[in-house]
């Protein structure tokens, strides 16, 4: 079988400053296109017998942990002054690949710590504008038909630092780590509302958590179509930090509305105007007006490799890789630029592309060792294109802190060091 291919066409330029056709690495193989750090030609004699091959390994464990050599792959966290559990921890996106966040690394945002809920004592009440108020135990809930879907959760405050005047020198975890994606399994909220006999004048739902903060949000009733009362996260029970024993999952809606430790759903005519949606989670505009109820997470993307804190070892071919997501639906295209937005090449999207889930994109790049500014720009199925930072600031002003979804720029310096810049 003749497997030789023309590497000439496989490494065709797709855009300026070294971006290659998205099929290049697949077609030609890493070695033949000169991938940086690709394996060298050695024989079996160069393979040594290491100590772990000379004696039997360790026994079984009840619950597995990552390799001890992966100790840097952890969340980073900060609590508000004077509190222990009010704050956030961030997912190390720069150290992960694929699209699913392991449960131990899912970001966390708590307004008053993680409650230690006894699942047998926990109840979910559905009441308000319903014919039959219902009180569920976990056991009763678990007898309903289950649904499974993959969805990201992003905090509305993620990337808030990118509204600042100067480009903050943060790694990807610090700038974008309030973002995770999991496979969630639970009962459709619509099914439970139907069971309770929701009344036609009910237009909103109040969702309340069983934490000490009593975090609660008003949710428009149409959100119930896709909402789950989630009991499982990546196959196992939802983690305490993510809402054990049950949380509201509202795919595509800002993180805050995904109420954890869910204890109450009340059907109402209008929004309840809780403290969490009036004093917080509103967007202050340059005019002095505030936008309230900004629900969907707008289309956004970011390059994870390379990203700040990573140093490229030398000129050569690299695979640029990152994440794209949209609260409106599916990602339809991600383009990458290596010249600060002058020219763009389409990246390969990892299939299947799922709505309201993280999408992994990849694109080969020949770095010639010179200056480069890497950017990614996502488009979703509705045609919405991720805005430049300038366009976003023109619309929102620089006093905004929530819902930053602008194009993010990483500059690669002559020694391969990567820095955050405003391009």
CB within 8 Å of 87: residues ≥ 6 apart: 77, 78, 79, 80, 109, 110
Smaller CB separation from ligand MTE, 262 or 302: 262
Q: Does 403 bind Mo ion (CB under 5 A)?
A: no
Nearest distance in Å: CB 355, ligand MTE: 19
Question: How many residues comprise the chain?
Answer: 423
Segment contacting ligand MTE by CB under 6 A, of 205-213, 219-227, 318-326, 364-372: 205-213
**What residues between 250 and 279 interact with ligand MTE by CB under 6 A?**
255-256, 258-261
> Which residue is it, tokens 């004077």?
82
Token duo for residue 2: 């003749």
Smaller CB separation from ligand MTE, 180 or 379: 180
Burial class from Cβ neighbours inside 10 Å (0-12, 13-18, 19+) for residue 151 reads buried
DSSP assigned state of 343: S
Q: Can residue 176 be called a binding residue for ligand MTE (CB under 6 A)?
A: no
Kindly state the DSSP code that residue 347 receives in the 8-state scheme: P
CB proximity list for 363: less than 8 A, separation 6 or greater: 14, 19, 20, 22, 319, 320, 321, 336, 345, 346, 347, 348
Among 211, 226, 298, 335, binds ligand MTE (CB under 6 A): 211
Least distance to ligand MTE, CB of residue 216, Å: 8
CB-closest chain residue to ligand MTE: 209
Q: Which of 151, 155, 320, 353 is close enough to bind Mo ion by CB under 5 A? A: 155
Q: Examine residue 306 and say whether the peptide bond preceding it is cis (omega within 30 degrees of 0).
A: yes
Judged by CB under 6 A, the chain residues 92 through 121 that form the site for ligand MTE are 106-111
Torsion angle, alpha carbons of 228, 230, 231, 234, to 10:
120
Residue 185 in contact with Mo ion, rule: CB under 5 A: no
Least distance in angstroms from the C-beta of 260 to ligand MTE: 4
Q: CB nearest Mo ion: which residue?
A: 155
The strand pair at 290-291 and 147-154 is best described as unpaired
- 258 lies in the binding site for Mo ion (CB under 5 A): no
Does the protein bind Mo ion through residue 260 (CB under 5 A)?
A: no
CB 143 within 8 A of CB 187: no
3-state secondary structure of 158: coil
For residue 247, state whether it binds Mo ion (rule: CB under 5 A).
no
Nearer to ligand MTE (CB atom), residue 256 or residue 375: 256
Binding site for ligand MTE (CB under 6 A): 106-111, 153, 155, 180, 209, 211, 213, 215, 242, 255-256, 258-261
């Amino acid at each position: 079988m003749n497997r030789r291919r023309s590497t000439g066409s496989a490494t065709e330029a797709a855009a300026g400053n070294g971006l290659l056709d998205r099929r290049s690495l697949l077609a030609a193989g890493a070695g033949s296109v000169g991938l940086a750090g690709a394996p060298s030609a050695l024989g079996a004699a160069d393979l040594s017998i290491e100590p772990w091959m000379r004696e039997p390994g360790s026994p079984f464990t009840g619950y597995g942990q990552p390799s001890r050599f992966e100790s840097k792959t952890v969340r980073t966290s900060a609590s508000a002054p004077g509190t222990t559990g009010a704050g956030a921890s961030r997912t190390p996106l720069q150290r992960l690949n694929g699209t699913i966040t392991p449960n131990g690394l899912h970001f966390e945002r708590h307004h008053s710590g993680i409650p230690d809920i006894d699942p047998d004592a926990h109840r979910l009440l559905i009441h308000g504008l319903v014919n039959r108020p219902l009180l569920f135990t976990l056991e009763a809930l678990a007898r309903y038909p289950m649904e499974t879907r993959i969805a990201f959760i992003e905090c509305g405050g993620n990337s808030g630092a990118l509204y600042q005047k100067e480009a903050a020198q943060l790694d990807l975890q610090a700038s974008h780590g309030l973002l995770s994606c999991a496979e969630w399994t639970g009962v459709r909220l619509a099914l439970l509302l139907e069971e309770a006999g929701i009344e036609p004048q009910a237009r909103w739902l109040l969702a309340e958590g069983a934490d000490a903060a009593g975090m609660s949000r008003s949710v428009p009733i149409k959100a119930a179509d896709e909402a789950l009362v989630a009991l499982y996260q990546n196959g196992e029970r939802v983690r305490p930090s993510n809402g054990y024993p049950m949380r509201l999952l509202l795919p595509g809606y800002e993180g805050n509305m995904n109420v954890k430790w869910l204890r109450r759903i009340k059907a109402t005519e209008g929004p309840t105007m809780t403290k969490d949606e009036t004093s917080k989670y509103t967007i202050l505009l340059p005019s002095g007006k505030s936008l309230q109820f900004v629900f969907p997470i707008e289309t956004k993307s970011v390059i994870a490799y390379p990203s700040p804190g990573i140093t490229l070892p030398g000129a050569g071919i690299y695979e640029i890789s990152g994440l794209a997501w949209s609260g409106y639906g599916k990602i339809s295209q991600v383009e990458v630029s290596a010249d600060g937005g002058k020219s763009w090449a389409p990246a390969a999207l990892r299939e299947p592309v799922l709505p309201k889930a993280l999408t992994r994109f990849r694109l080969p790049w020949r770095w010639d060792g010179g200056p480069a500014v890497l950017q990614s720009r996502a488009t979703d199925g509705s045609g919405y294109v991720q805005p430049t930072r300038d366009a976003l600031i023109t619309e929102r002003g620089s006093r905004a802190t929530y819902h930053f979804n602008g194009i993010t720029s990483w500059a690669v310096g002559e020694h391969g060091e990567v820095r955050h810049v405003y391009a």
